[in-house]
Amino acid sequence: MSTEKNLTKKSQNLSKKKLRVRIPYLGLSCLAVFFFMVVFADVISPHDPYEGDLANTTIPPAWQEGGTSTYLLGTDMLGRDVLSRLIHGSRISLLISVGCITFYGTIGVILGLISGFFGGKTDMSIMRLADFWTSLPGIIVLFMLAAVYGPSAKTIIITFGIMGWPNYARIVRGECLSLKERDFVRLARVAGCSNLLIMFSHIFPNIVNTIIILATIEIGGIIVYIAILSFIGLGTQPPSCDWGLMLAEGRQYITYAWWLVTFPGIAIVIAVLGFNLTGDWLRELLDPKQKLR
């Protein structure tokens, strides 16, 4: 009997451990640093990020020989403070990322709800449109929009809005196909609720968790894409503080001014790591399928 009790206690302890969701302290710490810079950029920036001083160009960080405490992370080729530009660059990365996700996420959620709820020819038409849209080369679309509107943050948001919605549409459609067969949807139909009311008042609240998880995971990847586009000249333009643009401007000075590319790269890694780890944690926390596993 004692051995059976011990076995049951051990199994209960193991099940409790499995049900616990580990808190990503590293990811949350990275996000805390990132959002602190976003919110208090004007307060904590030691200098104007756009104001240069040609008498103080390419000054190394404070701990290196020739550095000064006035410029903790050094200055760039125009004498602008690297730390101040990194801090203000966090705002640009976040604003563009949120703009992209809001744009294509809204399109994808609406089309996914319509596709999954109505089914039939409507579902087939929207899904075939999503397949066609996915087959389009995003870089070609970006070049076309850059030629029309010019390389800018608006061009990035429009490009992601055009190319990114199929992923959201497919995921939302799958959730909607499952939810529309539930009893609460049938009761809403019996009560005389319209299709629009059922979609956005009964089905949509049940897929918000999935949308939040997806957005949190994707925002890290979008920050990387924004940096890449700015690096190749298709994103934000000078004198912007975008991290990708800082990398592009500092690459030709990398042999003697390593800090111009190192610190923007570290900033990108911290932001992306924070969002990715937090997104995985939210998926374990909010997704019922993960809890069952």
State the average pLDDT over residues 267-271. Answer: 93
Neighbouring residues of 36: CB distance < 8 A, sequence distance ≥ 6: 44
Under 8 Å between Cβ of 226 and 93: yes
Q: Which residues pair with 75 in a beta bridge?
A: 81
Under 8 Å between Cβ of 81 and 46: yes
The structure's pTM equals 0.83
Q: Tokens 């570290």 map to which residue?
A: 266
pLDDT value, residue 34: 93
φ, ψ of residue 179 to 5 degrees: the values are -75, -30
State the average pLDDT over residues 189-212. Answer: 86
pLDDT value, residue 13: 52
State the average pLDDT over residues 100-128. Answer: 90
pLDDT higher than threshold 60 for residue 21: no
Of 15-24, 99-108, 185-194, 262-271, which gets the smallest average pLDDT? 15-24
Quick: pLDDT tens for 65-96.
Answer: 888 889 999 999 999 999 999 999 999 999 99
Q: Which residues pair with 68 in a beta bridge?
A: 71
Instruction: Spell out the CATH class of 92-292.
Output: mainly alpha
pLDDT value, residue 238: 87
State the average pLDDT over residues 210-225. Answer: 88
Q: Which two tokens stand for residue 151?
A: 């390389």
Q: Which two tokens stand for residue 64?
A: 């290196």
